[in-house]
Structure 1
Amino acid sequence: MKTCIQRFLLAALLAGGAAQATAAGVDYRIDPEHTEVVVTWSHLGFSTPSAHAGGIQGVIRYDAAQPSASSVKLDVPLASFTSHIAKLDEMLRGPQFFAAGQYPAIGFESTSVEDKGNGRLLIHGKLRIKDREKPVVLEARQNKAGVHPMAQRPAIGFDASTVLKRSDFGVEAYAPDVSDEVQLRITVEAVADAAR
């Protein structure tokens, strides 16, 4: 009888813990090898060049039952930012633009999430570039949720985008020849932490 009661209590505790974990969402660690930010701009109106950054670090807390309770925090290392043009990369990391020596990363942290249905989210948050922090809204779409075939753990993937003004963050050099408005796109793959 005592053994049955102990088993019942253990099962109740485990069930309660699982319910709490579900209510709080699951933490997914961003995979820096399969996550990328791409920035696109207009050059003299003739072309739309782009630069991209990898090596992104961060965590997505995603609540599948209540997506609006989800959150995300990430850092984009400027050392990985490249246009594939060495001279331009040097300028972008220099004081006229990102001043990467003084501010080595761009940061984003969500403040709220709107669930728009069918895997679509509006992610409100604060974007930090150099010493400026401004509110932005990312339009996001969930690509997939399921067990990652290589990691053998739950995983999720999203694409998100927004439009920014460089002048809002003090990186408006060469405007308007180089457009003040830039499009930012991010694709994210994130895997749940291993059970402890």
Structure 2
Amino acid sequence: MMLREFALASAATLALAACGQSADSQSASEVAANETASAQQDADAAEFEAISGAYEPDYKHRYITFSYFHQGYSNPWLRWNDWTGTLNWDAEAPENSSVNITIDTTSIDSGVEEFDGHLNGERFFDTANYPEITFVSTSVEKTGANTGKVTGDLTMKGVTKPVTLEVVFHKGAYDERGNKYKLGFSGKAKLLRSEFDLGFLVPIVSDEVNVVIETEWEMPAPASE
């Protein structure tokens, strides 16, 4: 009799535990869903925290880098140290925004002085004849709450081709300390260097190049603020 009672008690205990775990799991699932929805709302609202206007890159927080596959051994990362541009931001309709960028090609930085000399030479960027690289957007497509595609004309070494950047919008806000509005984006794209008359050593060195951009933009707040 005691054995039967013990079995019933054990079964009841296990059932209660299972119910408790189910309730906890459901609660955790609901919390996760609510957090996701909240994050989505925050991302939607973030677009309006930085007002419309012409933004300039924050020179302390702007990076245009690229990588390629070197002889099957490694993926070096290079950057341009000097570039400028203008982001015409439309807070109410981000797809109406536009951006243009001008890169000082001579500021190429591989981390190796000798290689920088090669990159400035005729076989690569030929910076004596082509001192600038430009990108001018032609369309902006909003693909999500904080994602989009920016398509534009990229001109390198006298060749112009359309390139599309996959863009993530991180934050738009008023910076009280600097009395300015700020925007932050990440972007990435793939391109073939041979299409821009930069195909020296293909395929020993990969034709495909991965471009990664990390940028913060800023605009002084209106005098009344």
Interval containing the TM-score (normalised by the shorter chain): 0.7 to 0.9
Corresponding residue number in structure 1 for 2:200: 173
After TM superposition, what 4+ stretches of structure 1 lie above 4 angstroms from structure 2?
Answer: none
- Secondary structure of 2:109's match? coil
- In structure 1, what residue type is equivalent to 2:208? E
Corresponding residue number in structure 1 for 2:103: 76
Corresponding residue number in structure 2 for 1:132: 159
User: What's the CA shift for 1:143?
Assistant: 1.4
Taking structure 2 as the reference length, what is the TM-score of the superposition?
0.73
User: What's the CA shift for 1:55?
Assistant: 2.2
Give the alignment partner of residue 69 of structure 2, picking from 42, 50, 67.
42
Corresponding residue number in structure 2 for 1:3: none
Corresponding residue number in structure 2 for 1:59: 86
Aligned mates of 2:159, 2:218 — CA distance in 1: 30
User: What's the CA shift for 1:148?
Assistant: 2.7
Give the alignment partner of residue 191 of structure 2, picking from 153, 164, 177.
164
- Does structure 1 residue 31 correspond to structure 2 residue 58? yes
User: What's the CA shift for 1:195?
Assistant: 3.2
Aligned mates of 2:181, 2:52 — CA distance in 1: 12
Corresponding residue number in structure 1 for 2:142: 115
- In structure 1, what residue type is equivalent to 2:124? F
Corresponding residue number in structure 1 for 2:7: none
Give the alignment partner of residue 186 of structure 1, picking from 210, 213, 219.
213
The higher radius of gyration belongs to 2
State how many pairs are aligned.
Answer: 173
Q: Output the aligned Cα RMSD.
A: 1.5
- Secondary structure of 1:167's match? helix
Aligned mates of 2:218, 2:177 — CA distance in 1: 10
- In structure 1, what residue type is equivalent to 2:215? V
Aligned mates of 1:66, 1:140 — CA distance in 2: 16
- Does structure 1 residue 101 correspond to structure 2 residue 143? no
Provide, for residues 76-99 of structure 1, a one-character-per-residue CA deviation record: whole Å limited to 9, x for no partner. 112221101111111111110111
- Secondary structure of 1:175's match? coil
Question: Structure 2 vs 1, CA of residues 158 and 192 (structure 1 numbering), >3 Å: closer, same or farther?
Answer: same
Question: Structure 2 vs 1, CA of residues 186 and 35 (structure 1 numbering), >3 Å: closer, same or farther?
Answer: same
User: What's the CA shift for 1:150?
Assistant: 4.3
Give the alignment partner of residue 90 of structure 1, picking from 117, 121, 126.
117
User: Among the aligned pairs, what percent are the same residue?
Assistant: 32
Give the alignment partner of residue 169 of structure 2, picking from 133, 142, 147.
142
- In structure 2, what residue type is equivalent to 1:130? K
C-alpha contact (below 8 Å) 1:31/1:56 kept by paired residues: no
- In structure 1, what residue type is equivalent to 2:204? D
